[in-house]
Amino acid sequence: MFKGLVSGLVAVAALQDLVAASPSLHRRNRCTELEEFIKKQNKVSIDGVLANIGPDGAKAKGASPGVVVASPSRSDPDYWYTWSRDAALTYKVLVERLIHGDKSLQSRIDDYVSAQAELQGLTNPSGGPDSGGLGEPKFNVNLTAFTGSWGRPQRDGPALRATALILYANWLVDNGARDQAVDKVWPVIAKDLDYTTRFWNRTGYDLWEEINGSSFFTLSASHRALVEGAALGKTLGKTCTDCAASAPKVLCFMQSFWVGGYIDSNINVNDGRTGKDVNSIISSIHTFDPEADCTDATFQPCSARALANHKAVTDSFRTIYGVNKGIPQGRAVAVGRYAEDVYYNGNPWYLATNAAAEQLYAALYQWKRIGSISITDVSLPFFKDLIPDIKTGKYDKNSKEFKSITKAVKLYSDDFLAVGKKYTPAEGSLSEQFDRNSGAPESAVDLTWSYASFISATERRVGIMSRSWGERGANTVPSVCEPAPSCDVDVTFNVRATTVAGETVFVVGGITELSNWSPANGIPLAASKDTSGGPLWKAKVKIPSETSFEYKYIKKNGNGDVTWESDPNRSGKTGKECNAAETLDDEWR
């Protein structure tokens, strides 16, 4: 069982010599309830993470070595799978702990490398190893493909995995194991980077697996991976084809998500939401670079945009949750995914509330390293919640305003952890959610990502930082955005379907080009001449190459009533060749 560091706070003394380059590993504060909670919860959280990793994790029996089980829950909901995204974010936390001295984790990280190499070689519903399969969101815990219906592809997984393994590869190089980095780790990274360069400009499902469009989280993760991937390639004498060329294009596209007060987390989709989503706060903490300035273009935690967005997102939950009733501005609230959420009735999430704290801890680190705080018209509303009479301007570290601001933001950051503390059971187990009215744990038990998010937030709190990913050399937005070259396939949908007077046939499906299952926006098919096999309905749709998708035909009458085909969903997959023509021949069922 894990015998190394058990919490960021307990580890401070042991880590001091290892992270001496950091400005500070803060002195132990007086023993408050929150400090004691953090100490206890850190041990529970690292134990909780390790318990969910195969093969010997206490709650991951039957999982293959290195596999992160999302949760031991096997029903209501069934999370007995390994998600590429969750696993990568979890292992990023573990690699950072390795970097700061916990070598007991290395064997698990090596198992993760081997497991991911195996998963990259699987043919699955998103495609084959060389045709989009890396975008498959989840797998069975025994490293076999999950073939059921799901929101796929999800394009964040390869970029996130690349980042976790780039951190590890750099550590290997720094610790005399360059050959292992070249021979074992780089091949996995290289495949993920290749996927990212090819697919970053394609729509896909967001990190909540609900919206098929362009996701800010996916784009920000892609930008970071491409920048640090190009640098690692040079270190190892390898080539990351198109990484350096693609990164500025991704950064340029990222600016499209800023809507003048907050980040619209999902665009190019008609989802009926405001776009205020903790997706954007998680993006900011994932792409946090401790050596960066408060850069708006990369939405660094201390940037005016990121702070304005933090206020917009967290405020969106102030009046909709019973647990937040009566909490004034300037005090932390329980944070969910997005205000319109209906999953399990739409509740606060532990990882979302932790993320709100982590962004502010990262911002504090950046301000103290930079030596000043700049308040603009964009960020002023955030600061005024904490210090009502504050004004725009630049305040350097020796000013009373700097000291007042950092003190207030630290208290606000801690307040988010205190919210989590209030709704954490006495034994420290972290589910996915807690009830919006009662605060009782909800949904999947012992969620790995919940535990990992607590570890990450509290390590930032005590000044334990990740290494720079090169943000300062990759934060200039091109004057003109250049999208990736399009590569589409003309797909003809043919279906034999008998209709009555006034009925028309449409096709809908799980990709943007097929209206994301929206009957109101379905693609109309035109009736051709009757044939011996019955009426034939046809439509031609441009769909990106190397895209797997599910679809169905529907009928609509003059009143707008919709009749769906019977289950299951149909499936299709486009080839790699650009401008090719493909046909799907179907019978209505």
| 403/55 Cα distance (integer angstroms) | 49
> How many CA atoms does the CB half-sphere of 248 hold within 13 Å?
10
Look-up of token digits 């943007």: 512
Nearest to 424 by CA among 8, 416, 412: 416
| pLDDT score recorded for residue 121 | 96
Q: Would the pLDDT of 580 be above 80?
A: yes
| 235/232 Cα distance (integer angstroms) | 5
What is the tens place of the pLDDT at every residue in 127-144?
A: 889 888 999 999 999 999
SS3 166: helix
Q: Would the pLDDT of 9 be above 90?
A: no
- Please give the C-alpha separations between residue 70 and each of 58, 120, 283, 574, in angstroms, as whole numbers: 14, 19, 20, 31
Angle at 8 between CA 27 and CA 178, to 5 degrees: 115
| pLDDT score recorded for residue 531 | 58
Nearest to 539 by CA among 500, 489, 503, 583: 583
Q: Are 417 and 38 in contact (CB under 8 A)?
A: yes
| pLDDT score recorded for residue 7 | 39
| 89/156 Cα distance (integer angstroms) | 11
DSSP character at residue 359:
H
- Report, as an integer, the average pLDDT of 429-449: 97
| 412/360 Cα distance (integer angstroms) | 8
| 277/227 Cα distance (integer angstroms) | 25
Q: Would the pLDDT of 50 be above 80?
A: yes
- Report, as an integer, the average pLDDT of 422-447: 97
Look up residue 483 and give its two tokens: 């999208």
- Please give the C-alpha separations between residue 316 and each of 336, 339, 342, 358, in angstroms, as whole numbers: 9, 6, 15, 18
User: Where residue 8 falls among pLDDT bands split at 50, 70, 90?
Assistant: very low
* Highest-pLDDT range among 31-40, 205-214, 412-421: 412-421
How many angstroms separate the most distant Cα atoms in the chain? 86
- Report, as an integer, the average pLDDT of 457-469: 95
Nearest to 364 by CA among 400, 397, 398: 397
What is the tens place of the pLDDT at every residue in 74-115?
A: 999 999 999 999 999 999 999 999 999 999 999 999 999 999
What is the tens place of the pLDDT at every residue in 208-261?
A: 999 888 999 999 999 999 999 999 999 999 999 899 999 999 999 999 999 989
What is the tens place of the pLDDT at every residue in 323-346?
A: 999 999 999 999 999 999 999 999
**349 in a known ligand binding site:** no
- Residues making up the chain, counted from first to last: 589
| pLDDT score recorded for residue 560 | 86
SS3 436: coil
Q: Cα 542 to chain center, whole Å? A: 28
What is the tens place of the pLDDT at every residue in 352-410?
A: 999 999 999 999 999 999 999 999 999 999 999 999 999 999 999 999 999 999 999 99
- Report, as an integer, the average pLDDT of 444-466: 97
The helix-helix angle for 400-422 and 350-370 (nearest 10°) equals: 160
| 494/32 Cα distance (integer angstroms) | 68
Mean pLDDT taken over the chain: 91
Active site residues: 206, 209
| pLDDT score recorded for residue 535 | 86
How many CB atoms are located within 10 Å of the residue 420 CB?
27
Q: Would the pLDDT of 17 be above 60?
A: no
Q: Would the pLDDT of 122 be above 70?
A: yes
What is the tens place of the pLDDT at every residue in 273-290?
A: 999 999 999 999 999 999
